Structure 1
Amino acid sequence: MDIEEKEHLTGFRKNDDGWIARRLVAARTVAGFSQKAFAEHLGIKTTTYATQEKRGRPDMSVLRYLYRNHGIDFNFMLNGDFHHLPPTLQTALFEALASLAPDYDLRTNSR
């Protein structure tokens, strides 16, 4: 995969809610959690986290957790900037993003 394909896959420099939602799902997946387990781990209601994920508007506590515990930082989550992440983490995130249907809109749960 070349750099342009990686940037397209991550939505590099795109910070709209739809792209943030996709990256949030990928980050949670790479961290090894279902929505329910992730919410429980963070000590919040599943519906609260599911809404954050669906809308592409994660709470700061979610972003902090992903960074502190999994090395997935704000630059990636909010802007799709993966260049500084370790190669193994990049690969895992690319795979998680690639597994999402390209025409799937997380905010409406439709194609």
Structure 2
Amino acid sequence: MTFDEKQRLTRQGDIGKEASGVRIRAARLAIGKSQAELGKAADVKKAAISNVEQGLSLPNRELMRYLYREHRIDFNFLMHGDFNHLHQDVQDSLFFQLERLENGPDQISN
């Protein structure tokens, strides 16, 4: 995958709700959790995660803190799409999920 393709998949530089929602959903899928499981782990309501993934709101601090502390997915990726500083294994998991979402988001369960 080229650098340009990675930038496109992460929507690098886009700080909007929809782009952040796509990145949050990819992160959730990369760590293998449902919305309910992620909500419980991060002490956030499932509805809040659903709203973020739908692009209705931005992720809150608790969710971002959990993803960073437990899974090494940091604020810069979640909010801006910056991926260069992420560990390679984290990048690999995220890009796999971002490609899946791009190719058929309706085929991926919550």
TMscore range, shorter length? 0.7 to 0.9
- Post-superposition shift, 1:52? 2.9
The TM-score normalised by the length of structure 2 is: 0.85
Note closer, same or farther for the CA distance 1:64–1:103 as it changes in structure 2 (3 Å cut): same
Segments of structure 1 that go 5 or more residues without pairing to the other structure are: 105-111
Distance 1:98 1:56, change over 3 A: farther
Aligned counterparts of 1:62 and 1:44: Cα–Cα separation in 2: 7
Task: Give the superposition deviation at 1:15.
Answer: 0.9
Partners of 1:88 and 1:9 lie apart in 2 by 17
Aligned residues: 104
Kept after mapping to 2: 8 A contact 1:24/1:56? no
Q: Which residue of 2 aligns with 1:78?
A: 79
Give the AA of the match of 2:3: I
Equivalence for 1:65: 66
> Retained in 2: the 8 A contact 1:12–1:81?
yes
One-letter amino acid of the counterpart of residue 63, structure 1: M
Note closer, same or farther for the CA distance 1:4–1:74 as it changes in structure 2 (3 Å cut).
same
Question: Which blocks of at least 5 consecutive residues in structure 2 are unaligned?
Answer: 106-110
- In the aligned structure 2, how far is the partner of 1:63 from the partner of 1:94? 18
Partner of 1:46: 46
Using the alignment, how far apart are the partners of 1:30 and 1:17 within structure 2?
20
Q: Aligned with 1:49: secondary structure?
A: helix
The equivalent of 2:34 in structure 1 is 34
Q: For 1:85 and 1:48, locate their aligned partners in 2 and report how far apart those are by CA, in whole Å.
A: 25
Q: Which moved more, 1:94-103 or 1:80-89?
A: 94-103
Structure 1 pair 43–20 and aligned structure 2 pair: CA distance change class (3 A): same
The sequence identity of aligned pairs, in percent, is 35
Residue of structure 2 equivalent to 1:87: 88
Name 2:97's counterpart in structure 1. 96
